Amino acid sequence: MHRIMKNVPFLGVAVLFTSLWACGPAPANQPVGLVSPEGTNRLEIYLDAQGRPGYRVFHKEAVVIDSSGLGFEFRDQPALMGGMELVSQSGSAGDETWEMPWGEQRQVRNHFNETELTLKEKAALGRELKIRFRAYDDGVAFRYEFLPQEGVDSVIITAEHTEFQLTGDHTAFWIPGDWDIYEHLYQTTRVSGIDALSRRNHPDLAATYIPENAVNTPVTLRADNGLHLSFHEADLTDYAEMTLRVDPEKLSFTSALVGSDRTGYKVRRALPFRTPWRTIQIGDRAGDLLASRLIENLNEPNTLGDISWFTPMKYVGIWWEMHLGVSTWDMEATQDMNTFSALDKKQMNKKHGATTANAKRYIDFAAANGIKGLLVEGWNTGWDHWIGFEDREGVFDFVTPYADYDLDEVVRYGRENGVEVIMHHETSAAPRTYEQQLDSAYGLMKSLGIHSVKTGYVGKIIPKGEYHHGQWMVNHYRKVLETAAGYEVAVNAHEPIKATGLRRTYPNAIAREGLRGQEFNAWATDGGNPPEHIPIVAFTRMLAGPIDFTPGVFDIALPSKPNNQINTTLAQQLALYVVIYSPIQMACDLPENYEGQPALQFIREVGVDWEQSVVLDGEVGDYVAIAREERGTGNWFVGAVTDENARELEIDFGFLPAGQTFKATLYKDGAGAHYRENPKALAIESAQVTSDSKMKVPLAPGGGLAISLMRE
Catalytic positions, written as ranges? 519
Closest to 180 measured CA to CA, from 216, 209, 213: 209
CA contacts within 13 A on the Cβ side of 116: 13
Nearer to Ca ion by C-beta: 202 or 494?
494
The whole-angstrom separation of Cα 440 and Cα 461 is 22
With binding defined as CB under 6 A, does residue 180 bind ligand NOJ? no
Residue 520 interacts with, from Ca ion, ligand NOJ, none (CB under 5-8 Å by kind): none
- 458-477: contacts with ligand NOJ (CB under 6 A): 458
Nearer to ligand NOJ by C-beta: 106 or 561?
561
Residue 654 has what DSSP assignment? G
Q: How far is the CB of 104 from Ca ion (least distance, A)?
A: 23
Binding ligand NOJ (rule: CB under 6 A), the pick from 377, 406, 466, 643 is 377
User: Cα(first)–Cα(last) distance of the chain, in Å?
Assistant: 33
Q: DSSP string spanning 393-431?
A: TTT--SS-B-TT--HHHHHHHHHHTT-EEEEEEE-TT-H
CB 363 within 8 A of CB 413: yes
With binding defined as CB under 6 A, does residue 615 bind ligand NOJ? no
Q: How far is the CB of 323 from ligand NOJ (least distance, A)?
A: 7
Q: How far is the CB of 511 from Ca ion (least distance, A)?
A: 13
- 440-459: contacts with Ca ion (CB under 5 A): none
Q: How far is the CB of 494 from Ca ion (least distance, A)?
A: 5
Residue 555 interacts with, from ligand NOJ, Ca ion, none (CB under 5-8 Å by kind): none
Cα pseudo-dihedral 478, 481, 485, 490, rounded to 10: -160
Closest to 277 measured CA to CA, from 145, 175, 176: 145
Nearer to ligand NOJ by C-beta: 548 or 630?
548
Residue 377 interacts with, from Ca ion, ligand NOJ, none (CB under 5-8 Å by kind): ligand NOJ
Verify cis geometry, omega within 30 degrees of 0, for the bond prior to 248: no
Binding ligand NOJ (rule: CB under 6 A), the pick from 52, 494, 504, 668 is 494
Binding ligand NOJ (rule: CB under 6 A), the pick from 33, 283, 456, 546 is 456
The whole-angstrom separation of Cα 154 and Cα 64 is 36
Interface region with Ca ion, contact rule CB under 5 A, candidates 338-346, 420-428, 486-494, 545-553: 486-494
Number of H helices, E strands in the chain: 13, 41
Closest to 502 measured CA to CA, from 277, 231, 240: 277
The whole-angstrom separation of Cα 318 and Cα 374 is 8
The length of the chain is 712
Q: How far is the CB of 434 from Ca ion (least distance, A)?
A: 16
Nearer to ligand NOJ by C-beta: 72 or 396?
396
- 543-602: contacts with ligand NOJ (CB under 6 A): none
CB 334 within 8 A of CB 347: no
Run of H or E including 222: strand 219-222
Q: How far is the CB of 387 from ligand NOJ (least distance, A)?
A: 9
With binding defined as CB under 6 A, does residue 513 bind ligand NOJ? yes
With binding defined as CB under 6 A, does residue 510 bind ligand NOJ? no
**Number of chain positions touching ligand NOJ (CB under 6 A):** 8
Residue 611 interacts with, from ligand NOJ, Ca ion, none (CB under 5-8 Å by kind): none
The whole-angstrom separation of Cα 235 and Cα 474 is 11
CB 53 within 8 A of CB 84: yes
Residue 314 interacts with, from Ca ion, ligand NOJ, none (CB under 5-8 Å by kind): none
Residue 336 interacts with, from ligand NOJ, Ca ion, none (CB under 5-8 Å by kind): none
Nearer to ligand NOJ by C-beta: 233 or 513?
513
Contacts 24+ apart (CB under 8 A), 399-402: 399/437, 399/440, 399/441, 399/444, 402/331, 402/352, 402/354, 402/378
Q: How far is the CB of 584 from ligand NOJ (least distance, A)?
A: 13
Nearer to ligand NOJ by C-beta: 508 or 518?
518
The whole-angstrom separation of Cα 486 and Cα 145 is 29
Residue 456 interacts with, from Ca ion, ligand NOJ, none (CB under 5-8 Å by kind): ligand NOJ
The whole-angstrom separation of Cα 687 and Cα 408 is 46
Q: How far is the CB of 397 from ligand NOJ (least distance, A)?
A: 15
Nearer to Ca ion by C-beta: 494 or 668?
494
Nearer to Ca ion by C-beta: 162 or 529?
529
Nearer to ligand NOJ by C-beta: 322 or 649?
322
What is the β-pairing status of strands 420-426 and 327-328?
unpaired
Query: Which residue is at the shortest CB distance from Ca ion?
Result: 494
Largest separation between any pair of C-alpha atoms in the chain: 78
The whole-angstrom separation of Cα 611 and Cα 634 is 8
With binding defined as CB under 6 A, does residue 313 bind ligand NOJ? no
Q: How far is the CB of 367 from ligand NOJ (least distance, A)?
A: 23
**Number of chain positions touching Ca ion (CB under 5 A):** 1
With binding defined as CB under 6 A, does residue 426 bind ligand NOJ? yes
With binding defined as CB under 6 A, does residue 519 bind ligand NOJ? yes
- In the complex, the residues that contact Ca ion under the rule CB under 5 A are 494
- In the complex, the residues that contact ligand NOJ under the rule CB under 6 A are 319, 377, 426, 456, 458, 494, 513, 519
